[in-house]
Structure 1
Amino acid sequence: MSLSRTMLSVRFHQTGGPEVLRVETLARPEPQKGEVIVRVLAAGVNYADLVRRRGDHYPVPTPLPFNPGCEFAGIIEDCGEGVDRSRIGESVIGANIQGGAYADYIAVEAKTLMPWFEGLSLEQAAMLPIQGLTAYLALTDAGMLTKNDTVFVQGATGGVGSLIVRIAKALGAKRVIAGVGHESKIRLALAAGAEAVVDYSKSDWVDALRAASGGLGVDLVMDATSGGILERGIDCLVPNGRAVVYGHAAPTDNPVNVTRLLEGNLRVTGFFLGYYHVNRPDIVVAALKSLEGLIKRGELDLVPAKVLPFAKAEEAHRLMEQRNSEGKIILVPSNRMEDQNG
């Protein structure tokens, strides 16, 4: 089968708001040694994409012009030197910290790809390489979740947060308390499996969190803000409690109260999935297998909140930036949307 020499790609030539995203026609990439070309069938939208588009701090450089997208599902359509060509046609999922997934094709190292197991839709498969693995490993490896834990999940209706709620329940956490930023999201948090929900737009939300924990406090705080919500969540930890920070959506200049950590024997742990993909691929593979087991046993349901064509990447970013998305946003090639609608 002959591949198209061109492709559609979403790029930005300068940092800024969602309006800097453009759909452009580019030459299809050629596979280098050890690489494959994947035809992208679904790409996950992640907060990291917004961070890089805005020009905020990110662990790796963002050269301009830049094609965002670090999470995808698709089919191998070409192989570079050193890659067995029998892999052509293989269904895969992947994560690429260098971006490139908001496009019809992406060139990636073959060894970084993971199998896309049966029973998943394209959109569900694209939820796993970044957000699914972040939720699972932040809980289990960084957070050391146990079945005796009461867990507080901040941002519980977002892409990662909603998965953390579902996975914590699937793994048998004693109690999961969801944190949301508006009362309109309470229903969604309960539907994800939370036993209780606190609305931290209310001034008394810390009291509500303590009450939801039976007055005891929580064992584990899962936080994506690095801001005031984290600081106040730490105040609700039981002795020997843990807090995992997996994002910095609303950072503040206020340092964590070290005295509180010392007196409570508390631990605050940062989590960055990119470290695992680069340094501990064995843990990534094991986590993916665990997620596969949860899904196949019906203990974890993956439900994308919204599916949009690449041409509406600007809308997808606005929805996430304004916190008007509830769950995971997926982008797909425009021709896939046309096939589904026609």
Structure 2
Amino acid sequence: MAAVLRGRFLPRVWLCRKAGQGGGRDYRAALCTELKQPLTVEEVAPSPVGPREVRVDVHFCGVNFADILVCRGQYQERPHLPFTPGESLMLFSLQGDQVVGVSFFNGMAEECIIDQKMLWQIPEKVSLREAAALPISYTTAILALEHRARTQPGETVLVTAAAGATGLAVIDVATNILQAKVIAVAGSDEKCKLAMQRGAQFCVNYNQGSLKEAVRKLVGSGGVNVAIDMVGGDVFLEALRSLAWEGRIVVVGFTGGNIASVPANLLLLKNISAMGIASGQYRDKNFPVLSKTLSSALQYCQQGCIQPHVGTLFKLEEVNDAFLHVMQRKSMGKVLLSPK
């Protein structure tokens, strides 16, 4: 019997593939053979398919800051060398069906072996690039806004790194799904312009003065109800101080490179909450929540409620250029790697 879960449909054939089935030919993969060194693209031999696994063709793989960290040995998970990165959720084709899946490594290759439960069928009205841009960014945005911060209609949401893939997803979900107001925070006027085009009501360039003061001018002394921070350091602290009474801040990452300490006195005096979201951990700790969230993202996209934004597309052999593009903070929207 095929598995069905919140709009997710897994064709019967996926559940019946035998271990070792498929493959047989070498394929290209990006390899990290030494930490903190450029990746190489090499021909590798296919691995056998285990029980409840499938071999899939990779059409697109997201390039995320976490991929760079794992190749530097600075991520919480440290695979044995050599390994193929690809921490993001990816777009695949399997026996003619278009599916999107979760594979926290091995995605930057022409093919990948994945647990069949981590696959979701792409609705007909969702384009391949839209589907490729959905998973990491939009699952994180939905989990941060809905599951963690419990954002309500009419509330004001502050989002940092607003022109990145997850930042734009937060703007999209907050504005078009939750009917919240958004103050975007970015590091250049160009990025601010994109955030405004994608639905933010206001945008603040944090390189042009105090973020806290800029927010105060926009919303007054009351502050914002929710802050979603991906930068860390001083930007996190200013976002924290911009919260209203009983406001909530959700930590998504530290693209700025610095991890700030939370001043506990502010939590007490303003009755505010600080929390984190690591969407990948839901795979093992609460898979139904992850599955429901990605299914919802696909449904929202099919209905035209959200519009994922793909920024730059790189070929597999350009993987180091893609990493540099993200490291230099040039990325606006989702950065994709295309192995095909």
Whether 2:156 is the aligned partner of 1:150: answer yes
- Counterparts in 2 of 1:9 and 1:254: CA distance versus 1, 3 Å: closer
Q: Which residue of 2 aligns with 1:113?
A: 119
Q: Which amino acid aligns with 1:60?
A: E
Tell me how far 1:287 sits from its aligned partner: 1.5
| Distance in structure 2 (CA, Å) of the matches to 1:296 and 1:212 | 34
**How do 1:37-56 residues align onto structure 2 when only pairs under 5 Å count?**
37-56=55-74
1:203 positional shift: 2.2
Equivalent position of 1:94 in the other structure: 101
Q: CA deviation at 1:2?
A: 7.0
Letter in structure 2 aligned against 1:109: D
When residues 174 and 93 of structure 1 are mapped into structure 2, their CA distance, relative to the original with a 3 A threshold, is closer
**1:57-206 to 2 correspondences below 5 Å:** 58-70=75-87, 71-76=89-94, 88-97=95-104, 99-206=105-212
Does the 8 A contact of 2:232 with 2:260 survive in 1? no
Separation of aligned partners in 2, 1:62 and 1:110: 21
Per the alignment, residue 18 of structure 2 pairs with none
Indicate how the Cα distance of structure 1 residues 102 and 147 shifts in structure 2: closer, same or farther if over 3 A, else same: same
TM-score by length of 2: 0.89
Structure-1-length-normalised TM-score: 0.89
Shift of residue 8 of structure 1? 0.3
Letter in 2 for 1:308: F
Q: How far apart are the structure 2 equivalents of 1:129 and 1:254?
A: 28
1:295 deviation in Å?
1.5
What is the count of residue pairs matched by the alignment?
Answer: 319
Distance in structure 2 (CA, Å) of the matches to 1:182 and 1:250: 15
CA RMSD of aligned residues (A): 1.7
CA distance, structure 2, for counterparts of residue 30 and residue 127 of structure 1: 29
2:29 is equivalent to residue 9 of structure 1: yes
The within-5 A match list for 1:201-280 is 201-252=207-258, 254-280=260-286
Deviations 1:28-81, CA, capped at 9 Å, x for gaps: 22211221101111111111101111221x2222211121112211123xxxxx
CA distance in 1, matches of 2:248, 2:22: 53
- Which segments of 5 or more consecutive residues in structure 2 lack a partner in the other structure? 1-20
Contact 2:140/2:279, CA 8 A, preserved across alignment:
yes
- Taking the aligned partners of 1:184 and 1:237, their CA distance within structure 2 comes to 26
Q: Which amino acid aligns with 1:300?
A: I
Q: Distance in 2 between matches of 1:292 and 1:16?
A: 35
- Give me the whole-angstrom Cα distance separating, in 2, the residues matched to 1:281 and 1:172: 23
AA matched with 2:36: G
Kindly, what percent of the aligned residue pairs are identical?
28
The residue aligned with 1:314 is: 320
Aligned to 2:17: none
**Contact 2:120/2:295 (<8 A) preserved:** no
Deviations 1:246-277 (A, max 9, x none): 11223536421100111111100011011212
Q: CA–CA distance in 2 between the matches of 1:112 and 1:2?
A: 19
